[in-house]
Amino acid sequence: MTEQSFPLVLALNYHHATGEMAPYFEALEVGRARASKCPTCGDVRMPPRPVCPDDGTQTEAIDLSGAGQVAAVTHGDAVPPFGDHATPQSFVLVAMDGADNFMFGRMIDAHADDAVAVGTRVRLAGAQGASPHPSGAAVFKRDQDQ
Ligand SMILES: [Zn+2]
């Protein structure tokens, strides 16, 4: 008998709870930056970490200004995380003011002829309509207050 293969489609419906990240996602919705700070070494993370990645200490919640500077950008037609169709996007890594790491997000307006550049000052813009995941509220706009 010859070995055969059969196509199978496996699907999983899953409700992922925001849990202890709920205050971070709620802040993102309204354009605020809820970060974490390690009381032992002072490490500040945005997005927050419940436990310091360097020394394992339970972190404390702090609020950052919501502003930062673009450290890297990728522009092009892409399907956003948890999205279902490609649209023009500018995904950015942002060095948030006061944080020791980078935050991933997308620009509020992504135009190929005016893509945001590395070094541009940006600020969290808040949720832009419904998103299939609360991380979809990680949206930045150019900072007009610099
Ligand atoms: Zn620490």
Give residue 48 CA to ligand 1 midpoint distance, Å: 12
Cα 62 from Cα 13, distance rounded (Å) = 34
What is the CA(35)–ligand 1 centre distance, in A? 14
Q: Mention every residue, 6+ apart, whose C-beta is less than 8 A from residue 20.
A: 50
Cα of 135 vs centre of ligand 1, distance in Å, is 25
pLDDT of residue 30 exceeding 60: yes
The Å distance, Cα 83 to ligand 1 centre, comes to: 35
Distance CA 20, CA 37 (A): 15
Widest distance between CA atoms in the chain: 73
For range 40-46, the mean pLDDT: 98
Contact 23, 32 (CB under 8 A): no
Give 74-93 pLDDT, tens digit per residue: 998 888 767 788 888 899 99
Report pLDDT for 112: 63
Positive/negative CA dihedral, 27, 31, 34, 35:
positive
Looking up tokens 């010859």 gives 2
The pTM of this model reads: 0.84
CA–centroid distance, 102 to ligand 1, in Å, is 17
How far apart are the CA of 58 and the centre of ligand 1, in A?
Answer: 8
Domain ranges in the chain are: 19-142
Q: What percentage of the chain exceeds 70 in pLDDT?
A: 97
Length, in residues, of the chain: 146
Ligand 1 centre distance from Cα of residue 19 (Å): 22
* Averaged confidence pLDDT in the chain: 91
